Structure 1
Amino acid sequence: MTQLNQRRPTMKDVAAHAQVSLSTVSYVLNDTGPVAPARRRRVLDAVRLLEYAPNESARKLKRRGPSTIGMVVPDLTNQFFAMVTKGVQEAASSRDVLVALVVPTAAELPEERQAELLRSQRVDGVIYLSGTGSIPAAIYEIARSGPVVLVDEQIPGSGLPAVVSTARKGAREVAAHVLAQGHRRVAVISGPPALWTARERLAGYREAFAGAGIDPDSIPVLAGDYEHESGQKLAAQLLSADPRPTALICANDLLAVGAMECCREMGLQVPADVSIIGFDDLPLSVFLTPRLTTVRQPAHEMGLQAASLLFDLLDGSQADTITELPTTLQLRESVCTPGDAV
């Protein structure tokens, strides 16, 4: 309790003490979702022990008048971004705070112009999902007067706090699983090199290759743009090689969907002829045939954490610079032992 007495407890503290997710705390405090009785008791016990006041941030914001936070998200048609956004909106709603949502691709305006429009709304703070791996100057202008929190991306040198996942670890684990099945002719469809997420995932794959005694530079890698059309096109290039790869590791689920479409067009069976691997664990991944082996990122939780961090900063609390949430492997039917494995 000594450390917590130095500052006002947050939802994150309650979640840590009760050993539950931030979303579970939100469900209990706001009665917005089902929670098992034992977990509910742990949350309420933690609230009492820590003397957490759940509505204090909202009251402080309300005293300044109607409050708004901004959120920039590259594309809401991507289920991952949509789930992060839902988490942010849920956390903001619990505090009666409006979310001004900016989607650069929807308005077909440059990211910089969208950021300028957001600044004109005089938002209290911003949650930013970068689609380019950079920060527009207008966002830095906002950061001078209010907090800016990054999600699923770190911008080296920016000094901005971020909520991310253990992407490198997850990538390393799923690549190691593929190798453990006996695959040696492996190829990678990575994400845009400008993005931190893509670099981290590729680094994780390479670590797994090196750990298995395979020269990472011997593995074919083509960079995509995280869209399924890109996965389809790049898979066609990789699967045209002789000998053909027995496994394609894709840096997100949409690339994997494109790769699976390519296999169908080429008359290849997944996973009998080619194993396909994704990353994100989008809801669609369990409806594919076969179901997709992938790495789960807690997208909704990342949104909740980002909003909680933003409100903590608005309240004057100290916050961690980088918050990492764990990834988990989702082993399904799109990976099997290659037919010619030794």
Structure 2
Amino acid sequence: MKKENITIYDIAKEANVSPATVSRVLTGNAKVRPQTMRKIVDVIEKYNFRPNSLARSLLHKQSKTIGFILPDINHPFFSTLVQKSEAHALELGYTSFLCNTMNSSENESKYLQSLVEKQVDGIIYLGGRINDTDTEQKYADEMKKVMERIPVVFVNGQMTGVDAHIVRTDEESGIEKLVELLVNLNHKKIGFLGGIEGISSTDVKTNTFVKMMNNKGLDVNKDWVFGNGFSIESGEEVAAQLLYLKERPTAVICVNDFVAIGVIKVLTKFGLKVPDDVSVVGFDDIYLAEHFPPGITTVSQNYDLLGETAINVLADLINERDAERETVVPTSLILRDSCKLLSE
């Protein structure tokens, strides 16, 4: 049988059961003996069977549940975005499963399979493998197999070879705004700290930083562009390295607000004042950015709009309505007190 032409009657024939029994398995409306269910499920999985719209309308009641897969619930970017997204999903009548992978690809695969088995209506995917600049083929194949069964929306990520619907913030524009701000404050010696090479958010931000510096006719000092993570601790580490340099930048752009907090902590510990001695800016506008002294100038990811847009796109896919293949949400500059105007 050709995979694309499979019907519940073909499933029933191969499993040696009635179409009504297949229907009961798909809808979960009546008990089916475990041995019989296993036979039917094996055939369904063999062909990656997904009923067409007519069959679904007759046979399949939506579960009205969606899944969130994210790498680290402790990170304010992910927790805030899920909170905003989940609130909007509830307004549309969807409840949620939250899958925290703890930065493990193995856990990502487990959760993907679990959400398929739970028959969620759709999946919002945040971070993890969709943030790898180079996609591993096995993960691309796994994702495509899942997407044959369930709609998936990527947020701030993509996978090579996977034709997914993507909702993302305009990170390039955010970095452009930060460079423009610092240049307008007469800074010419600007560094970029934090992140990990090979992670798309780092690569996009670093490349945009270099491009903007070149456009402004400013040199990019490679000694001022480095990082080893996204945490406060990694920010402390890069700031410590900065202290040992013979020449230091007058301003640094950090890959996110956590790194900016770590940088400010170490600079302050060793007697440097922010912004009097060094201007420090972040990215994301997490809730701590406003309250961590002196108040961090940063870029807002527009969590409300980003979460609402991702849920709306997923709901459109679930209900087989047309949806934009890629939606870009604007970022905005948030001015606080961590930058200083230099005298010319």
Residue 104 (structure 1) shift: 0.8
Give the Cα–Cα distance (whole angstroms) in 2 for the partners of residues 101 and 297 of structure 1: 21
For 1:312-323, list aligned pairs within 5 A: 312-323=316-327
Residue 63 (structure 1) shift: 6.9
Give the Cα–Cα distance (whole angstroms) in 1 for the partners of residues 167 and 332 of structure 2: 17
8 Å CA contact 1:176, 1:209 repeated in 2: no
* Structure 1: segments with no counterpart, 5+ residues: 1-59
Give the Cα–Cα distance (whole angstroms) in 1 for the partners of residues 199 and 322 of structure 2: 27
For 1:266-305, list aligned pairs within 5 A: 266-305=270-309
How many matched pairs?
281
What amino acid is the match of 1:96?
G
- Normalising by structure 1, we get a TM-score of 0.76
Structure number with higher relative contact order (C-alpha < 8 Å, ≥ 6 residues apart): 1
Residue 195 (structure 1) shift: 2.4
Residue 302 (structure 1) shift: 1.0
Residue 234 (structure 1) shift: 0.9
Rate the CA distance shift 1:218–1:65 in 2: closer, same or farther, 3 A: closer
Is the deviation greater in 165-174 or in 200-209?
Answer: 200-209
Residue 215 of structure 2: aligned partner: 211
8 Å CA contact 1:84, 1:301 repeated in 2: no
Residue 257 of structure 1: aligned partner: 261
Give the Cα–Cα distance (whole angstroms) in 1 for the partners of residues 201 and 181 of structure 2: 20
8 Å CA contact 1:83, 1:300 repeated in 2: no
What amino acid is the match of 2:117?
S
Residue 172 of structure 1: aligned partner: 176
- Per-residue CA deviation, residues 269-312 of structure 1 (Å, 9 max, x unaligned), is 10111111100111111101111111111123211111110010
Rate the CA distance shift 1:65–1:164 in 2: closer, same or farther, 3 A: closer
8 Å CA contact 2:63, 2:119 repeated in 1: no
Residue 246 (structure 1) shift: 1.4
What amino acid is the match of 1:228?
I
For 1:106-121, list aligned pairs within 5 A: 110-121=107-118
- Normalising by structure 2, we get a TM-score of 0.75
Give the Cα–Cα distance (whole angstroms) in 2 for the partners of residues 95 and 169 of structure 1: 31
Residue 156 (structure 1) shift: 3.9
For 1:16-27, list aligned pairs within 5 A: none
Give the Cα–Cα distance (whole angstroms) in 2 for the partners of residues 107 and 325 of structure 1: 28
SS for the counterpart of 1:110 is: helix
What amino acid is the match of 2:90?
S
Select the structure of larger CA radius of gyration.
Answer: 2
Verify: 1:77 aligned to 2:81, yes or no.
no
Is the deviation greater in 278-287 or in 178-187?
Answer: 178-187
- Per-residue CA deviation, residues 241-286 of structure 1 (Å, 9 max, x unaligned), is 1112211110111110111111122111101111111001111111
SS for the counterpart of 1:100 is: strand
Residue 125 (structure 1) shift: 1.4
Rate the CA distance shift 1:156–1:109 in 2: closer, same or farther, 3 A: closer
* Structure 2: segments with no counterpart, 5+ residues: 1-56
8 Å CA contact 2:224, 2:249 repeated in 1: no
Residue 71 (structure 1) shift: 0.9
Residue 335 of structure 2: aligned partner: 331
**2:252 aligns with one of 240, 248, 251:** 248
Give the Cα–Cα distance (whole angstroms) in 2 for the partners of residues 90 and 188 of structure 1: 35
8 Å CA contact 2:194, 2:238 repeated in 1: no
What amino acid is the match of 1:279?
F
Give the Cα–Cα distance (whole angstroms) in 2 for the partners of residues 267 and 256 of structure 1: 17
Verify: 1:200 aligned to 2:197, yes or no.
no
Give the Cα–Cα distance (whole angstroms) in 1 for the partners of residues 114 and 159 of structure 2: 22
Give the Cα–Cα distance (whole angstroms) in 1 for the partners of residues 215 and 243 of structure 2: 25
8 Å CA contact 2:191, 2:221 repeated in 1: no
- Per-residue CA deviation, residues 118-160 of structure 1 (Å, 9 max, x unaligned), is 3332222111002342474543322111211011223343211
Residue 221 of structure 1: aligned partner: 225
SS for the counterpart of 1:231 is: helix
Misfit runs of 4+, over 6 Å: 60-63
Residue 218 (structure 1) shift: 4.8
Residue 104 of structure 1: aligned partner: 101
